[in-house]
Amino acid sequence: MMLGSKSKRKFNAFVAGIKCGEDVPALLGLQDDDLDEVPFTRMLDNPGDIASGVIRMRKLSGISAFDMFDAVTVKDYDSGDIKYMFSTITSECHKIGDFAEVLFQELGPGLYDSTRHSSFHEDEKIRTLARGQYLNSQDELVHIWIHSQWVILLQYRIDPLCEFSIFVTHKKPKEIDRSIRRNGTILDILSVDIREVLELQENSRLIDARERDVRFVDYRYDRLGRIMGVFSGLTVRLFQRNKEFREDVHTNVTFTVRADVSTRSKIDVMDRLVRIYGPDDLGLKDIELHEVDLLDAGEYWTGRTWNFNETHGLWNIENDHERFAYSVAIGYDSFEAGFTLSIIGYNNLISLFSVR
């Protein structure tokens, strides 16, 4: 396929290089001493950078990266992440579309929040903003792609007007702690016993059947009080027809609350789980600043997830000698169930760790 503009060809080669694991400075033909160090006293002028963990900043101006961007900023974070920021003011909507097309072709559809921004699939929105015209903040275009250890953000902004930028972040891989967890289980902090709950009358029941064979039954309870001081709803999914708990029948449990719950309350629940289980499957532990921002804004939050093997270490799916036991996950999705805490394989959790 023939690529269009020169900038598009250069950017396509850059993205292809990232996918192959090549180094960003090498792809740009930059040496470390090509970049000007930003004094720490100037970094202090941006409290947001300091709060997010920026420990070093370098800049290079007067260039023409991909024959489009006239400035490059590199930020080093205390987490080991490195962010490369390319920006310019432009009304060349055809070039903007070229950059988006490369990312769609190389990395797929990407992610964007339709409640806050427009998509780079909307060509007319690009052309309109390039003319300096917009109706509201949702006319700003923002898209995100995630590939392996890379996160790429493409945006065409309203403020500053017509600022086009690409942020390319290399996320330092976190070491996964697969040691056996010895600080107890979620059973130690739950105020309900699912075996006892199933003896109560449910508020609703949903049966999933295929050609008369029952796959599972969901039992919904809404009058159990505030579980863990937060959750008002509980769904128990039994993979059998009968309403009875058995350790040899796969059972999932989901606690939910759709009403407004403070960010502090959500973090408190997460902290209680972290004190028991430690770092999760991705090496995440304590809440991070950008996560607080997501929770404050009521945006989608992936939270924390722990998948355990039968020895109570984090399950390694690639190890054929390990068997999955149970998982615990916490997260937030305003469009679905709200703030949720789920336990997959509750029956295994009881079988392995219950003292009753």
101 φ, ψ to 5°? Answer: -60, -40
Number of other CB atoms surrounding residue 329 within 10 Å: 19
Whether 236 and 249 have beta carbons less than 8 Å apart is answered as no
Instruction: State the pLDDT at residue 165.
Output: 95
Structure tokens given for 152: 């790429």
DSSP one-letter string for 201-269: PPSEEEEEEETTEEEEEEEEE--S--BTTTB-EEEEEESSSSS---TTS-EEEEEEE-S---HHHHHHH
Structure tokens given for 335: 């469009």
Instruction: State the pLDDT at residue 29.
Output: 85
Instruction: State the pLDDT at residue 52.
Output: 81
Instruction: State the pLDDT at residue 297.
Output: 83
Q: What angle do CA 116, 117, 121 make, to 5 degrees?
A: 150
Listed as ranges, residues in the chain with pLDDT below 50 are 1-3
Pick from 308, 293, 229: nearest CA to 261: 229
| 183: three-class secondary structure by DSSP | coil
Number of other CB atoms surrounding residue 118 within 10 Å: 21
Residues facing 59 on adjacent strands:
36, 73
Domain ranges of the chain: 6-170, 186-353
Place of tokens 């920026």: 54
Structure tokens given for 141: 């275009």
Contacts of residue 96, defined as CB under 8 A and 6 or more positions apart, other chains included, come to 90, 120, 126, 130, 156, 164
**Spacing of C-alpha 307 from chain mean position:** 17
Instruction: State the pLDDT at residue 1.
Output: 34
pLDDT tens for 182-206 read 999 999 999 899 999 999 999 999 9
What does the DSSP 8-state code read for residue 282?
A: T
Whether 234 and 256 have beta carbons less than 8 Å apart is answered as yes
Instruction: State the pLDDT at residue 3.
Output: 42
